Amino acid sequence: MNRLTGIRRFAGVLVGGALLLLSTGVISETAVTKGSKAAGLDSCVAPTAVMRRNHMDFLKHDRNMTVRKGIRDTQYSLAECVGCHAEKDNAGAYKPVNAEGQFCSSCHSYVAVNLSCFQCHRKTPEVKSGSGTAMKSDGPFQPESLGLLQSPDQPVLLNRDELARLHATVKGD
Amino acid sequence: MSCNSDQPDMNRREFLGKSVLAATATVVAPGVMLTVANASEEGASSAVRWGMLIDTNKCADGCTACVDACNKENGIDLMQRPAGQADEMWNAQRPQWVRKVKLRDKQTGEISNLPMMCQHCEHPPCVDVCPTGASFKRADGIVMVDRHTCIGCRYCMMACPYKARSFIHQDVAEQLTGTPRGKGCVESCNLCVGRIDAGNSTTACQDACNKDGHQAILFGDLKNPESAIAKALKAESSHQIRADLELNTGVRYTNI
């Protein structure tokens, strides 16, 4: 009898442990998909916790600014969500962000919140269109545009004085 | 705008982990971010009013360059005909922001062509009748639909004297980033608002018309006396279509 309860208790602990592992896996693991641009960045346009809690308010606020007032350089924009969080498949094509297992839908299906943005909005970043000039384009990557960041073929050499002066300029004193 | 107050304070967790000073900084930061650092606050300005002048003499019979360019610019050509829908139904229901209209004078037989789109009225009837405020006029005179609040009642379509608006009857699989589109909303010409906001000074239809060598469409700021369109309006007589309605349209026509 004692032995049986022991086994049952042990099984209970095992099951509980497995459930705990599963749940922490879902909660703590980041939803950012591996093949997306966002995976290479430290954080979103605001700290992750803030974005998780408030992204819907941010988007709602800035959509009104953009549609009604024509302000297009808002800090939060759905187009940038899609641009950063869309993952590429093996063929190099973007997967829709609301497809099963992708960034938007993974959380939204977990918390059972309907995601209606993409009934109207584009689900993948635009791959170089001829005429669509509405959105900001990043343009080709220019190493020179990064200023003093070192490039492998042309290292930037500064002596101590130059560095101090540069710091003074950057800090504004 | 503020964050929902019924939500738990996210910074409380950081407060427990960090010092009081760090927590205070993070409490202040979101508020500052929302009110100050969000955007440039440079949007549509009432110092300009966008409009168009169309020379119907230069508009060529049979040319559809402006319509095609509009369809491409605004992703209308991405729409697929629903399976099994008849030609007649599809042609009647597919969105059309600009259409070519051909007029014939019954007496003289004179034929004139003109592109017809949203006339961007100063007193738009579509805005008057909209029950939700979705149909609105921007500060710079562009009349457009906020699809977030459009309920698809189509009252504006009935109110518009120019038949300028379209209703999306079907689910849309693919859109352009700059032109969201979905079933159940009304839409119409917005004078390529994305281009204008990006600092461009031409619309897609104007570019296409110029490219084909017709130069029938002139787009610009009606309020700026130095603009090409203001000078052209001053130099020759132009007409509003249905001027009797006193809507003060932003799109004007010459030689009709």
Q: Is the pLDDT of residue A13 over 70?
A: no
Domain extent for B83 = 50-254
| pLDDT for position B76 | 96
B153 domain residue, yes or no = yes
* B34 and A CB contact within 8 Å: yes
What is the mean predicted confidence (pLDDT) over A151-162? 52
Which of A23-37, B68-82, B105-119, B129-143 has the least mean pLDDT?
Answer: A23-37
B66 domain residue, yes or no = yes
| pLDDT for position B26 | 57
* Interchain contact, A65 vs B39, CB within 8 Å: yes
* A63 and B CB contact within 8 Å: yes
Distance, CA of B81 to CA of B3 (rounded, Å): 42
CATH at B108: 3.30.70.20
* Interchain contact, A134 vs B179, CB within 8 Å: yes
List of chain A residues whose C-beta atoms are within 8 Å of the C-beta of residue B34 = 61
Looking at every residue in chain B, the average pLDDT score rounds to: 89
My answer on whether B125 and B220 are in the same domain is yes
| pLDDT for position A68 | 95
List of chain B residues whose C-beta atoms are within 8 Å of the C-beta of residue A130 = 72
Burial zone of B35 (CB within 10 Å; 0-12 exposed, 13-18 middle, 19+ buried): exposed
- Residue B3 CB coordination number (10 Å): 16
My answer on whether B12 and B128 are in the same domain is no
Distance, CA of B256 to CA of B55 (rounded, Å): 9
* A67 and B CB contact within 8 Å: yes
pLDDT in tens, A62-110: 999 999 999 998 999 999 999 999 999 999 899 999 999 999 999 999 9
Number of domains in chain B: 2
pLDDT in tens, B27-40: 555 554 444 445 66
Exposed e or buried b per residue across B162-178, where buried means at least 16 C-beta atoms within 10 angstroms of its C-beta: bebbbbbbbebeebbbb
My answer on whether B131 and B218 are in the same domain is yes
B43 domain residue, yes or no = no
* B10 and A CB contact within 8 Å: yes
Q: Is the pLDDT of residue A24 over 90?
A: no
* A51 and B CB contact within 8 Å: no
My answer on whether B9 and B100 are in the same domain is no
* B76 and A CB contact within 8 Å: no
List of chain B residues whose C-beta atoms are within 8 Å of the C-beta of residue A65 = 38-39, 43
CA dist A173 → A58, A147, A167, A169, A170 (Å) = 35, 20, 9, 6, 8
What is the mean predicted confidence (pLDDT) over B42-70? 95
B197 domain residue, yes or no = yes
My answer on whether B96 and B19 are in the same domain is no
* A69 and B CB contact within 8 Å: yes
* Interchain contact, A49 vs B13, CB within 8 Å: yes
pLDDT in tens, A51-60: 999 999 999 9
Determine the distance in angstroms separating the CA of B104 from the nearest CA of chain A, rounded to an integer. Answer: 34
What is the mean predicted confidence (pLDDT) over B52-63? 95
- E strands in chain B: 50-55, 98-104, 111-117, 135-137, 143-145, 166-167, 186-187, 217-221, 251-254
* A137 and B CB contact within 8 Å: no
Which of B3, B174, B198 is the closest to A133 by Cβ? B198
Name the pLDDT band for A142 (thresholds 50, 70, 90).
Answer: very low
| pLDDT for position B37 | 46
DSSP B173: S
Tokens of B193: 């608002």
| Side-by-side strand order, sheet with B50-55 | B217-221, B50-55, B251-254
| pLDDT for position A127 | 84
My answer on whether B18 and B98 are in the same domain is no
List of chain A residues whose C-beta atoms are within 8 Å of the C-beta of residue B197 = 70, 72, 134
Name the pLDDT band for A9 (thresholds 50, 70, 90).
Answer: confident
My answer on whether B14 and B104 are in the same domain is no
Q: What is the pTM of this model?
A: 0.73
Q: Locate tokens 């059972």: which residue?
A: A112
Closest alpha carbon to B121 in B253, B254, B247: B247
Which of A53, A62, A125 is the closest to B10 by Cβ? A53
My answer on whether B34 and B65 are in the same domain is no
List of chain B residues whose C-beta atoms are within 8 Å of the C-beta of residue A111 = none
Name the pLDDT band for A18 (thresholds 50, 70, 90).
Answer: low
Beta-sheet pairing, B186-187 with B50-55 = unpaired
Report CA B134 to chain centroid distance, whole Å. Answer: 13
Which of A50, A125, A136 is the closest to B30 by Cβ? A50
B179 to chain A: closest CA residue = A121
Long-range CB contacts for residues A17-26, cutoff 8 Å, separation at least 24: A26/A110
Helices A78-85 and A48-69, axial angle in degrees (round to 10) = 130
Pairwise pLDDT comparison (A160 vs A89), residue with the higher score: A89
| pLDDT for position B17 | 65
DSSP-assigned beta bridge partners for residue B98 = B117
My answer on whether B196 and B114 are in the same domain is yes
Give the SS3 label for residue A168.
helix
B44 domain residue, yes or no = no
B45 domain residue, yes or no = no
DSSP B239: B
Burial zone of B161 (CB within 10 Å; 0-12 exposed, 13-18 middle, 19+ buried): middle
My answer on whether B220 and B96 are in the same domain is yes
Tokens of A157: 């050499």
| pLDDT for position A66 | 94
Burial zone of B117 (CB within 10 Å; 0-12 exposed, 13-18 middle, 19+ buried): buried
Size of interface A-B (CB pairs under 8 A): 112
CA dist B111 → B63, B101, B104, B106, B108 (Å) = 14, 10, 4, 9, 9
Tokens of A129: 């269109």
DSSP B191: S
* A43 and B CB contact within 8 Å: no
A57 to chain B: closest CA residue = B3
Report CA A126 to chain centroid distance, whole Å. Answer: 17
My answer on whether B31 and B55 are in the same domain is no
Q: Is the pLDDT of residue B50 over 80?
A: yes
* Interchain contact, B138 vs A134, CB within 8 Å: no
Q: Is the pLDDT of residue A155 over 50?
A: no
| pLDDT for position A29 | 61
Q: What secondary structure does DSSP assign to B27-63, as a single string?
A: HHHHHHHHHTSS-------TT--EEEEEETTTS-TT-
| CA angle at B105 for the pair B99 and B108, rounded to the nearest 5° | 150
What is the mean predicted confidence (pLDDT) over B184-189? 97
Exposed e or buried b per residue across A21-32, where buried means at least 16 C-beta atoms within 10 angstroms of its C-beta: eeeeeeeeeebb
Closest alpha carbon to B254 in B51, B52, B55: B55
